[in-house]
Chain A
Amino acid sequence: MIELASVGRTYGSASAPVTALRDVNLVIQRGEFMAIVGPSGSGKSTLLNLIGCLDQPTSGRLLFLGEDTSTLNDTKLSRIRNRSIGFVFQMFNLVPELTVYENIELPLVYAGVTRERRALTTKVLERVGMDHRADHPASLLSGGEQQRVAIARALVNDPALILADEPTGSIDPDSAEQVMELLGELHDQARTIVLVTHNMSVAAVAQRVVRIESGTINEIGAAVRPDDRAAAAAVMPAPDWTPLR
């Protein structure tokens, strides 16, 4: 689905470059659940931003569904972010002055969906169990609730790829558990998931773990088999909210 060939990302001026990523080669298969782990500052968020077409490599090639992203213009990249990718960020990144409902429908607004907008938005709202808060301003929700709204927003356009950057990093353990359950279910529905975390127990849910250190990749293979995911989840506390539909 996504292929990175000797991808590098450098920041700053030519005279004093700061290298965030160096010669990264990585293939992400369709339907995969992959975790990227590494200490902070290792370049894992940079890598995720590149995969998510929020940023462009300064060297190498990144193929998204077979297309070299460096050849795509802003409109095409925006369409990829809109239709094919759902983002879940550590700080949720909701628009604070909009309501829960308005935040979730944003991708549909930019996709130009009108007739099915209400039905699709309501469906994902119910799916993450936030339908009772639809008209609340996003800024007044708890962290866990905001993250569920963010997941609903990531899902509303039915993207093939979900990118999660430390999705449990700013929320309480119970909410974290719910978020990981949700991601697991999304994977079961044949979505590709790429998760960035520095927490190995979170990474344990993935099929495949990639370690990144000082901007280079060191694949450590599958930490846990897909079949073992239930077992891994069982180690964590049971969710205290109604199962997802």
Chain B
Amino acid sequence: MKLRDAMLVAFRGLTRHWVRATLNVLGIVAGVASVIMLVSVAHAVSSTAKASVEGLGANLVVVTPSGPSSSGIQRGIGGTSSLTRSDADALSNPANVPDAVQAVPSAGVNENVVAGSHVWQTDVLGSTPGFGAARGYTLSQGLQFGPAAINAAQPVVILGQTVAREVFPTVNPIGQTVLINTQQFKVIGEYAPRGYSGTLNQDDLVVMPITTLWDEVLPGNLSQIQQILVQATSPSTTSNVAAEVTNTLLRQHQITDPALADFTVQTQQDLVASAERVGTVMQWMLGAVAVIALLTGGIGIMSLMLATVGERAYEIGVRRAVGASREDILGQFLIEALLLAVLGAIAGIALGYGGATFMGDVLTDLPAPVITGFAILIAAAVALVIGVGAGLYPAVRASLLQPVEAVRRQ
């Protein structure tokens, strides 16, 4: 029997029983679609996390107030930060951290920015004049606040492009006043657009002197620092800087055992790598869930095909009587299973693609799903393996039917 004829026979076997074929294929379609959708969402989440880290700027060492406190008790969210203004000052001292250009402390809160009838919720950050350089922001117009503004806790703000556009759609924001937490702030500058990093809008922020944030926006909050960015002189000195920062802060906090450090020092490469690790784990986890769905589809195919062998005993007998060998029957059933799997994979990819896109449109809180070749490849490969695997046993059963038994069962 020629291969082309084997394909033709299997194709006719499917098309002349299209209801049965459709039922068979549905399990695979649902499985493949769920693999693609779940892996796409996982990929989007992880790539957003990675992009937000990368968006921080170049050559950065990030200090955060995490890790065990001196008593060994893990601090929860909302607890008192272990990083203080004197820490930031110590890290700014070239004697302590010779390989650093500068150290930029920051704290932030999500607040409404109000101007007239316009209200926009955004990230309000308090920082120092070095913020723009460390994070890669430049001014498109206006001025940067200087050290004097820090010392005096002046009520001034610099707006990101998105905030400027939303709050002042018709007038130039420079010189205007905005309300944040009922306090008045003067707009002195506007950042040039940075665009999106992944799904993170880098233009959706307001920056003010960190002392102003402490005094006016977060009163009573004990001058906390949520993050200190230390900018290294070059990418090659970031590991030196990390070591220098660690030593300085251990000394500042009077901690002798580095294992008890109440802060975390990470280079930007560390952060990207850990974001990637988390993302990869998440992708595999969701992928595994989806593969289980696909397996269930495969079991469905197997049971349906087994029932089919019984139903088709007559047809198999007729084919055997006119000269089909065991291999011919085996081939026919296997090719039918393979065709079902391929059809299911194609339909599943289309459905998964559409579903992931739809999810991105509807669930705007989630990052838009990123459909990867990896997801599609995994889904298609598993569908094929499962399709053929599920088809194998019924096909062997079909091929072992004695021709005379089959003819008799009419």
Contacts and interface: CB of A to CB of B under 8 A. Distances in A.
A91 B4 CA distance: 30
B407 interface: yes
Interface string A99-113: 000100011011110
Given A78-B324, A107-B323, A110-B1, A95 B315 contact: yes
A110 B318 contact: no
A82 B318 CA distance: 12
Contacts of B321: 52, 54, 81, 87, 93
A75 B319 contact: no
Contacts of B407: 49, 54, 89, 93
Interface in A86-100: 87, 89, 91, 93-95, 97-98
Interface in B7-40: 8-9, 12, 16-17
A75 B331 CA distance: 14
Contacts of A82: 322-324
B372 interface: no
B257 interface: no
B50 interface: no
B323 A114 contact: no
B10 to A, nearest CB: 12
B403 interface: yes
Contacts of A91: 410
Contacts of B410: 91, 93
A106 B326 contact: no
B265 to A, nearest CB: 72
A125 to B, nearest CB: 16
A110 B324 contact: yes
B318 A93 contact: yes
Contacts, number: 81
A67 interface: no
Given A95-B315, A109-B9, A83 B2 contact: no
Nearest to B316: A95
Contacts of B403: 54-55, 81
B325 A94 contact: no
Given A91-B410, A95-B319, A109-B1, A74 B326 contact: yes
A106 to B, nearest CB: 5
A81 B323 contact: yes
Contact of A102 (B12, B314, B402): B12
Interface string B298-338: 00000000000000001101111111111110000000000
A33 B17 CA distance: 40
Contacts of A83: 323
Interface residues on B, range: 20 to 34
Given A91-B410, A102-B12, A114 B325 contact: no
A102 B326 CA distance: 20
Nearest to A46: B404
Q: Chain B at the A interface: mostly helix, strand, loop or mixed?
A: helix
A97 B1 contact: no
B402 A55 contact: yes
Contact of B319 (A49, A89, A106, A111): A106
A109 to B, nearest CB: 5
A89 B17 CA distance: 25
B5 interface: yes
A79 interface: yes
B12 A110 contact: no
Contacts of A107: 322-323
B9 A78 contact: no
A153 interface: yes
A122 B322 CA distance: 18
Nearest to B13: A97
A107 B323 CA distance: 6
B17 A111 contact: no
A98 B16 contact: yes
Given A54-B404, A54-B407, A112-B1, A94 B323 contact: no
A8 to B, nearest CB: 16
Interface in A125-159: 153, 157
Interface in B180-219: none
Contacts of B327: 75
A112 B2 contact: yes
Contacts of A111: 1, 323
B12 A74 contact: no
A231 to B, nearest CB: 34
B405 to A, nearest CB: 9
A74 B328 CA distance: 11
Contacts of A114: 2, 4-5
Contacts of A54: 320-321, 402-404, 407
Given A54-B403, A55-B404, A110 B315 contact: no
B322 A153 contact: yes
A88 to B, nearest CB: 11
A70 to B, nearest CB: 15
A78 B323 contact: yes
Given A79-B323, A106-B322, A110-B322, 10 more contacts: A78-B324, A82-B323, A93-B314, A93-B317, A93-B318, A97-B315, A106-B323, A110-B323, A110-B325, A111-B323
11 contacts: A54-B321, A79-B323, A81-B323, A82-B324, A93-B407, A97-B17, A102-B12, A106-B322, A107-B322, A111-B1, A114-B5
Interface of A: 49, 52, 54-55, 74-75, 78-79, 81-83, 87, 89, 91, 93-95, 97-98, 102, 106-107, 109-112, 114, 153, 157
Please list the 3 inter-chain residue pairs (A to B) with the smallest Cβ-Cβ separation, ordered nearest first: A82-B323, A97-B16, A78-B325
